[in-house]
Amino acid sequence: MSDVRFPSILPYKCSDMTDSELTTYNQQDSFDVERMPKSQLRWRSGQRTPNEPQALETSVNRTNDSVTIASQRRLARIHALQNEKANMDIPISRIPGEIIRLIFQCHADDNEVARVMGRTLFASTSYEVGRSWLVLGQVSRLWRQILFDMPTLWAKKLFTLGYRKVPTLLPLTKEALLDMDFCDQLGQTESTWNEMRPYMNRAWRITNESYMVDQVVPFMELLSSQPLPHLRAIKLTRSYLQGSVPSAVMSDHPNLRSIILDSVYMRSPLHGGLVSLEIDLSRSGIIERPDYNELMTILSHNRQLRRLDLKGVLHDAKKSASRLILPALESLRLNNRDHLHTACLLDSLYMPSLRTATVHPEHALSSRRDSLVVHRSLLDAWTDENTMSASSSSLVVERVFGSEGMCNIHDVALRGFLAEISTPTKQFSIAEYVEEPNPTWSRYVGRHTIRWQHTDMSD
pLDDT digits (tens, 9 = 90+) for 69-95: 777 777 777 776 776 666 666 666 677
Per-residue model confidence (pLDDT) at position 286: 80
- pLDDT tens sequence across 330-379: 999 998 878 888 889 999 999 999 998 888 654 454 566 777 788 888 88
SS3 352: coil
Domain count, the chain: 2
SS3 80: helix
Which residue stretches of the chain have pLDDT < 70? 1-67, 80, 83-93, 117-125, 184-192, 211-214, 240-243, 360-368, 384-393, 400-403, 421-446, 452-459
Classify residue 42: in a domain, yes or no.
Answer: yes
> Does residue 347 contact residue 319 with C-beta atoms inside 8 Å?
yes
What are the residues whose beta carbons fall under 8 Å from the beta carbon of 91, sequence distance 6 or more?
none
Classify residue 29: in a domain, yes or no.
Answer: yes
DSSP letters spanning 18-42: ---SPPHHHHHHHHHHHHHHHHHHH
Q: Where are the beta strands (DSSP E) in 190-285?
A: 203-210, 233-238, 258-262, 276-280
SS3 115: strand
Per-residue model confidence (pLDDT) at position 20: 39
- Helices of type H across 260-348: 292-301, 339-347
Domain limits for position 48:
24-94
Classify residue 213: in a domain, yes or no.
Answer: no
Per-residue model confidence (pLDDT) at position 273: 93
Last residue of a domain, one of 94, 128, 146: 94
Write the CA distances from 304 to 236, 249, 276, 328, 384, integer angstroms: 22, 20, 9, 5, 18
Classify residue 242: in a domain, yes or no.
Answer: no
Classify residue 179: in a domain, yes or no.
Answer: no
Angle in degrees, CA 230, 107, 208, rounded to 5: 40
Per-residue model confidence (pLDDT) at position 382: 87
Pairing verdict, β 258-262 and 276-280: parallel
Classify residue 46: in a domain, yes or no.
Answer: yes
Last residue of a domain, one of 71, 94, 117: 94
Per-residue model confidence (pLDDT) at position 116: 72
Per-residue model confidence (pLDDT) at position 459: 47
Per-residue model confidence (pLDDT) at position 4: 36
Last residue of a domain, one of 56, 76, 94: 94
Per-residue model confidence (pLDDT) at position 235: 93
pTM of the model: 0.74
Per-residue model confidence (pLDDT) at position 136: 85
Classify residue 437: in a domain, yes or no.
Answer: yes
Pairing verdict, β 426-438 and 443-454: antiparallel
How far is Cα 98 from Cα 300, in angstroms, rounded to an integer? 44
Classify residue 409: in a domain, yes or no.
Answer: yes
Per-residue model confidence (pLDDT) at position 189: 63
